[in-house]
Amino acid sequence: MTSISEIPSLDLDLFTDDVLTDPFPIYERIRNAGPVVYLPRYRSYAMGRYADVRAGLADWESFSSARGIGLNDLANEATQGMIIATDPPEHDQLRDVLASRLSPKAIRELKADIERRADELVAPLVRQGAFDAVNDLARAFPISIVLDLIGLPQNGRDKVLGWADAAFSASGPPGPRTDAAFPLLEDQLAYLSSIEPDQLTPGSMGRAIYDAAAAGQIRQESCVPLMSAYVTAGLDTTINAISNAVWYFAHNPEQWDLVRQDPTLIPSALNEVLRIESPVQFFCRVATREVDVDGLRLAAGSRVMMLYASANRDERKWEDPTRFDVRRNPVDHLAFGYGMHGCAGQGLARLEGHSILAALARRVERFEVGAPVRRINQLIRGLDALPTTVRPVAETA
Amino acid sequence: MRIIVDEARCEGYGFCAEAAPHLLELDDEGDLKVLSEEVASGDAAQAEAAVRVCPVAALRLEP
């Protein structure tokens, strides 16, 4: 048997400003060093190659989520009982509550309303000609849709986005950024705990959680963690996908022409945005037993960063991975994770993304963007501002 | 070779049906229907593609 010391060790810091601004060179070093590497700074391992990340996510019996998906003990303890930090059978009961409202079948009835909202948001922005693609477009859209679907009372809605951002960042390694984010995660949970079920819109996704508890499908103490899953996972991810799409289409106008000429490419285009700029950079798993990772022996108890964003640019999997190609249709990308914990809201996220791209494709001939302001978050990659001007499609008589 | 759907995990994304229209389809209700569990040798590549694109790993192939 080989010893774990044969897993390559890299003294890397993944959380400096420079790396969080451009993590891709470090991801390439991790991929090239081996199928799994040791990062002594975090006393954790990392997988960066597509095949290994995908196989690890599929094998939940060997790679558990139940000890938390973050890099610090405080967040891993605070997230106990949240669906992201569970294994079966507990996971499956919680997942059923989300899937009953978020599965493609369940959201079919939302399609017309979401498409209408996309048109109503995009039309005045295009007439205006100049806007911030992050605040005015990418944030405005999911916030209005998702918070209505959850059925949240108006009071507190203005704080939800900041809490969601912090809830992700709180799972970084011990240090000042985690220390700053953690109290906001606690504020989010306190806010959600303060909401009485009858304050949630009847028939909403949030109300359905409390109904499931009342019906005995889940435990009462699972309600707030499930609410947290909705308000954390439902925002930043979609926001970043939409703003990243604008950036990529501004810089690749010939790709925008392809989408405008053939709107059936929109699902492929959204997948390509998610592949090349995955909002979630990583979540962790913990090995429940000794695991063979492509010939390297990973010891039981090892915490492993599953680098989704690296896997989605792995040159072993993708041809010319840094090329943005709306015809690639990378439907098996890992931006939503994969397997049992694969994003429960991906149907809704896709519906939102498709609706926005379709509304833009009908109206915008060219995007021009100024210098983006990057939002620094330890788990999520995205923009804080993207000054955008658009040239509208010529009016047809 | 057979294609097996784990019905407890399937959430009806339908990417498998796009990849393997001979074997799988989403019905009008949005539920996945297996058209042919038995995979003919000519459909093996489709079956493998269907398994690959399922976002929640609800499909598997058995010899």
For an interface test with B, which of A331, A338, A348 has the most B Cβ atoms less than 10 Å from its Cβ? A331
Is 50 exceeded by the pLDDT of residue A322?
Answer: yes
Interatomic CA distance for residues A11 and A61, integer angstroms = 29
The pLDDT value recorded for residue A394 is 85
Residue type for B62, please?
A: E
Chain-chain contact of A346 with B15 (C-beta, under 8 angstroms): no
Residue type for B39, please?
A: V
Is 70 exceeded by the pLDDT of residue A1?
Answer: no
Give all domains of chain A, ordered by start, each with its CATH number: 83-279+315-392 (1.10.630.10)
Residue of B nearest to A89 (CA): B8
pLDDT band at A397 (very low <50, low <70, confident <90, very high): very low
Chain-chain contact of A104 with B52 (C-beta, under 8 angstroms): no
Write the pLDDT tens digit of every residue in A268-306: 999 999 999 999 999 999 999 999 999 999 999 999 999
Is 60 exceeded by the pLDDT of residue A396?
Answer: no
Taking the CA of residue B25 and the nearest CA in chain A, the distance in Å comes to 14
For an interface test with A, which of B6, B13, B15, B28 has the most A Cβ atoms less than 10 Å from its Cβ? B13
Any long-range contacts for A217-223 (C-beta under 8 Å, 24+ apart)? A217/A93, A217/A96, A217/A97, A218/A93, A218/A94, A218/A97, A221/A81, A222/A81, A222/A93, A222/A94, A223/A197
Chain-chain contact of A346 with B13 (C-beta, under 8 angstroms): yes
Tokens 């796009």 belong to which residue?
Answer: B18
Task: Characterize the bridge pairing of strands A382-385 and A373-375.
Answer: antiparallel
Is 60 exceeded by the pLDDT of residue A92?
Answer: yes
For an interface test with A, which of B7, B33, B56 has the most A Cβ atoms less than 10 Å from its Cβ? B56
Taking the CA of residue A221 and the nearest CA in chain B, the distance in Å comes to 24
Residue of A nearest to B32 (CA): A105
Q: Give me the mean pLDDT over the A70-97 stretch.
A: 96
The pLDDT value recorded for residue A5 is 53
Interatomic CA distance for residues A258 and A244, integer angstroms = 18
Residues whose CB is less than 8 angstroms from the CB of residue A214 and which lie 6 or more positions away in sequence, other chains included: none
The pLDDT value recorded for residue A338 is 98
Write the pLDDT tens digit of every residue in A154-198: 998 999 999 999 999 999 999 999 999 999 999 999 999 999 999
Interatomic CA distance for residues A165 and A156, integer angstroms = 15
Residues whose CB is less than 8 angstroms from the CB of residue A169 and which lie 6 or more positions away in sequence, other chains included: A177, A178, A180, A181, A377, A378, A379, A380
ipTM of the modeled complex: 0.95
Chain-chain contact of A104 with B30 (C-beta, under 8 angstroms): yes
Taking the CA of residue B12 and the nearest CA in chain A, the distance in Å comes to 6
Is 90 exceeded by the pLDDT of residue A385?
Answer: yes
> Which residue in B17, B44, B59, B45 sits closest to A104, CA to CA?
B17
Q: What percent of chain A has pLDDT over 70?
A: 98
Give all domains of chain B, ordered by start, each with its CATH number: 2-62 (3.30.70.20)
Interface of B with A (CB under 8 A): 8-9, 11-15, 29-31, 52-53, 55-57
Q: Give me the mean pLDDT over the A357-381 stretch.
A: 97
Write the pLDDT tens digit of every residue in A339-349: 999 999 999 99
Q: Which helix (H) or strand (E) holds B61?
A: strand B59-62
Chain-chain contact of A342 with B52 (C-beta, under 8 angstroms): no
Average pLDDT of chain A is 96
The pLDDT value recorded for residue A142 is 94
Is 50 exceeded by the pLDDT of residue A4?
Answer: no
Nearest to B30 among A92, A108, A340 (CB): A108
Write the pLDDT tens digit of every residue in B17-50: 999 999 999 999 999 999 999 999 999 999 999 9
Interatomic CA distance for residues A348 and A368, integer angstroms = 28
pLDDT band at A74 (very low <50, low <70, confident <90, very high): very high
Angle in degrees, CA A255, B12, A148, rounded to 5: 75
Nearest to B52 among A103, A105, A332 (CB): A332
